[in-house]
Each structure stands twice: as structure tokens, then as C-alpha cells.
Structure 1
Amino acid sequence: MTDFLIQSIDRVTLERLELLAGERGWSTNDTALRALRYALGLSSEPVIGRDRQDIATMRGVWNQLENQAFSEAMDAFRKVDSGPSFETLPKSGK
């Protein structure tokens, strides 16, 4: 492998690189290599998540089967014809 030296990195870029490395448990060098590979189209794994509040970013990403099961469950809920759970039922004649 070849070594490559990047000079004159601004403070904000370096801080972001170090923050990402710490969040993922990677070295700063590994984080920089992953970012470079992604930017050059050599990897489909983005270094940063799209939305930090997205549940997929916070707890991992669902695989295709999990995503399909969730979609099917949500479709089943949409088909249920009921009101809110706090509605009182009519009293029986007891």
C-alpha cells in the first residue's frame, strides 16, 4: 500500500473527522480512508448517516426481510377499522 499525506487540513474538518472516528470506534486514518473511498465512488457505505435522528442511524439498519415485515405489519394496522383506544364501549343491559 502507498502512504498519502494530506496537508493543511482546516480545524473544522479535522474535528469532524475525529468526531466521526470516535463515534464509530475507527481510527482517524481509517475514517479518512473510508470517506475518500466513498467520495470516489469506490464504496457504497457512507461514512455519515443521512439523518442523525433517524432510527436507522441510531440503532442500525434493517435488512430487507425486516423492512418487508414492518411494512406488512403497518399495512395490517391500516386495514383495521377502529377508533381510538380511549373510546368507551356502549354499556350492555346488565
Structure 2
Amino acid sequence: MAEFWIRDIDNATLDRLNALANERGWSPGATAVRALRYALGLSTEPVMRQDRQDIATMRGVWNQSESQAFHEAMEAFRQVDSGPSFEPDSARK
């Protein structure tokens, strides 16, 4: 294996690298190698947790079929002739 030195790493990058290493139980060097391999397409194992990606998925972006299903469901609700369930029948009309 070859050695590779990285100079002039900013504090934020170094802090994040060390935090990831501590979270995973890896050395900072192993964490850097894993991050490089992933960034270069040599590994499918992401270094970061998938939480950030999950949040992006959950933010409300729907594909076309999901959007169509939502609109169809909303239309079905619009066709129901009733008020809130806590109102007496006489107040609904």
C-alpha cells in the first residue's frame, strides 16, 4: 500500500473526519481512505449515514404517479358530503 499525505486541511473538514472516525470506530486514516474510495466510485459503502438522504426523500418530493394518486384521493374526499364528525347532523346542512 502506498502512503499519501494531505496538507492544508481546514479545521471543519478535520473535525468532521475525526468525528466520523470516532462514530465508526475507525482510525482517521481509514476514514479518509473509505471516503476517497466512495467519492471515486471504487466503493458502494457510504461513509456518511443515510439519514441525510432519507430526510431529502421525506421532504415531500413525489414522482408523477404518487402525485396523481394524491390528487385522486383528494378528489374522493371532495365528493363526500359531510362535515366534521363532531357536528350534529342538523348543523351539517
TM-score norm. by structure 1 comes to: 0.54
For residues 8-19 of structure 1, what are the structure 2 equivalents within 5 Å?
8-19=8-19
Structure 2 segments unaligned to the other structure (5+ residues): 55-93
* 1:41-90 deviation line (CA, Å, top 9, x unaligned): 000000001216x6xxxxxxxxxxxxxxxxxxxxxxxxxxxxxxxxxxxx
Q: Which residue of 1 aligns with 2:3?
A: 3
Structure 1 segments unaligned to the other structure (5+ residues): 55-94
* Partner Cα distance (1:24, 1:32) in 2: 12
Tell me the number of residue pairs that the alignment of Structure 1 and Structure 2 aligns. 53
Q: Which residue of 1 aligns with 2:27?
A: 27
Between structures 1 and 2, the one with greater helix share: 2
Moved over 3 A (4+): none
* Partner Cα distance (1:8, 1:38) in 2: 22
TM-score norm. by structure 2 comes to: 0.54
For residues 6-85 of structure 1, what are the structure 2 equivalents within 5 Å?
6-51=6-51
Rg larger in 1 or in 2? 2
In percent, how many aligned pairs have the same letter? 64
* RMSD over equivalenced CA pairs, Å: 1.2
